[in-house]
């Protein structure tokens, strides 16, 4: 490696709660010359950066990108080529719908050293914050993470929806092969997602939870079924960021809440 070049650390910041970041990730923030950070990264984490570190916001929200992915690539290259240690700080995990692989390929092709530092992804963190196990003995032995970002009906397809990259979201396979579904970036398509899963064989009474701002102080959790969760979420004006969990494991949350309520009643 050319020692005049810098390095890029592609870092997962976790699902929202700043205390869920890893020790290694925190060290990279403290060491960074430049930090490119996303919308869902807690501002508290930036306080660990050196006072002289350059902070560059490059967040994306539905329909509004502060910086395009191509511009992010160019910025990473610009500072790393100048010998800087750059931290690309992403919400959740950089390799779970975080485009970390794209950035690594771009850098590697141009001779820039990089490293991946994993983070707690939303499916793990938000589910735990909502008291929902993704697997549970006797109920669920598998789970899948899927993105429904900007999914639209696919003309002439029997699978019903496509993702932002134009790939078919195989709700037909997911509905029949996985016990728990953790669906990212799908709250705006909630009714359509539920309809697709029912269409491909899941019972309308299948439990569903929608977790808004998971693991944060403003977290909201709504539960229902494939039949009524879209109405419930709409009435509550639930918005992004939100994670959808589909499966019988959602009932564990309800059981835990009942036990907690009984305990409070006994103490009271």
Q: Any idea which residues carry the catalytic annotation?
A: 38, 60, 185
Give the separation between CA 16 and CA 20, rounded to whole angstroms: 8
Helix H or strand E segment including 36: strand 34-37
The region that residue 109 occupies, defined by phi over 0 for left and psi between -120 and 50 for alpha, beta otherwise, is: alpha
Beta strands in 84-193 (DSSP E): 85-90, 113-117, 143-147, 152-153, 160-162, 168-170, 180-184
Give strand pairing partners of 211: 221, 243
Neighbours of 36 (CB within 10 A): 25
Query: Looking at the chain, how many residues does it have?
Result: 268
């Amino acid at each position: 490696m050319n020692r005049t070049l810098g390095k890029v650390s592609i870092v997962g910041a976790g699902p929202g709660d700043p205390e869920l970041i890893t020790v290694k990730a925190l060290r990279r923030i403290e060491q960074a010359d430049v930090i490119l950070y996303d919308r869902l990264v807690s501002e508290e984490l930036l306080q660990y950066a050196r006072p002289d570190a350059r902070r560059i916001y490059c967040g994306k929200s539905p329909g509004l990108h502060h910086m395009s992915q191509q511009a992010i690539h160019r910025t990473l290259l610009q500072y790393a080529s100048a010998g800087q240690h750059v931290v690309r700080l992403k919400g959740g995990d950089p390799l779970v719908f975080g485009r970390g692989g794209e950035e690594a390929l771009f850098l590697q092709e141009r001779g820039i050293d990089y490293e991946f530092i994993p983070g707690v992804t939303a499916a793990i963190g938000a589910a735990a914050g909502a008291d929902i196990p993704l697997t549970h003995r006797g109920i669920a032995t598998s789970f899948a993470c899927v993105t429904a970002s900007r999914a639209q009906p696919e003309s002439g397809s029997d699978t019903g929806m496509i993702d932002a990259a134009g790939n078919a979201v195989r709700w037909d396979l997911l509905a029949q092969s996985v016990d728990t579904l953790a669906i990212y970036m799908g709250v705006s398509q909630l009714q359509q997602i539920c309809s697709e899963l029912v269409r491909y064989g899941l019972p309308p009474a299948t439990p569903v939870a929608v977790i808004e701002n998971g693991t944060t102080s403003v977290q909201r959790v709504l539960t229902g079924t494939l039949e009524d969760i879209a109405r419930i979420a709409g009435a509550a004006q639930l918005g992004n960021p939100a994670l959808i969990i589909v499966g019988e494991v959602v009932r564990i949350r309800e059981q835990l809440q009942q036990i907690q309520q009984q305990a409070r009643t006994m103490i009271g």
